[in-house]
């Protein structure tokens, strides 16, 4: 059994999944990442201007969905979820590339995050510059 431990939560003005942008670059607001005190040491080095990838657990998602109409548009043919960014998937891990706007202790402000208020954060990674985009 693989058990994830939330390391923090998203604090956002977005409260409704249906009306939230599908991707961060589609008009998502800035948001706070509020980390557990226990992981403060792991934040060392996270600074204003850093490009990071936030991994979340999309706890409102359905895990029994294997195919979707991309972007919830019935005009798009049914597609396997591994070819889409659908939140509904066997393990609904969200991948959010964002830029750090400011750091205040265990509170990190980031730009353009589409995850809704209360979403558990499970990891943060630096962006590596290379051939592929996220």
Q: Does residue 103 touch a copy of itself according to CB under 8 A?
A: no
Q: Does residue 44 touch a copy of itself according to CB under 8 A?
A: yes
100 neighbors 48 (Cβ within 8 angstroms): yes
Closest by Cα among 48, 57, 40 to 116: 57
Q: What does residue 70 show for φ and ψ, rounded to 5 degrees?
A: -50, 140
Between residues 88 and 117, which has the closer beta carbon with respect to a copy of itself?
88
41 neighbors 64 (Cβ within 8 angstroms): no
Strands 8-11 and 31-35: antiparallel
Between residues 34 and 81, which has the closer beta carbon with respect to a copy of itself?
81
Q: Does residue 39 touch a copy of itself according to CB under 8 A?
A: yes
Nearest distance from C-beta of residue 15 to a copy of itself, angstroms: 21
Q: Does residue 61 touch a copy of itself according to CB under 8 A?
A: no
CA triple 63-65-69, angle to 5 deg:
135
Between residues 15 and 111, which has the closer beta carbon with respect to a copy of itself?
111
Site of interaction with a copy of itself (CB under 8 A): 1-7, 23, 25, 39, 41-46, 50-53, 55, 57, 59, 63, 66-67, 78-85, 89-91, 93, 95, 97, 120, 122-134
């Amino acid at each position: 059994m693989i058990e994830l431990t939330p390391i923090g939560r998203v604090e956002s003005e977005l409260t409704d999944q249906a009306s939230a942008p599908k991707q961060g670059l589609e008009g998502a607001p800035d948001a706070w990442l509020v980390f557990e005190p226990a992981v403060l040491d792991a934040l060392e080095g996270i600074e204003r201007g850093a490009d990071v990838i936030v991994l979340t657990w999309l706890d409102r998602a359905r895990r029994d969905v294997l195919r979707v109409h991309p972007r919830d548009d019935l005009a798009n043919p049914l597609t396997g979820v591994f070819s889409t960014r659908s939140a509904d998937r066997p393990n609904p891990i969200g991948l959010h590339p964002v830029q750090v706007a400011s750091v205040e202790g265990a509170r990190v402000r980031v730009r353009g995050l589409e995850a809704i208020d209360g979403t558990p954060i499970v990891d943060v990674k630096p962006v590596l510059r290379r051939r592929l985009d996220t």
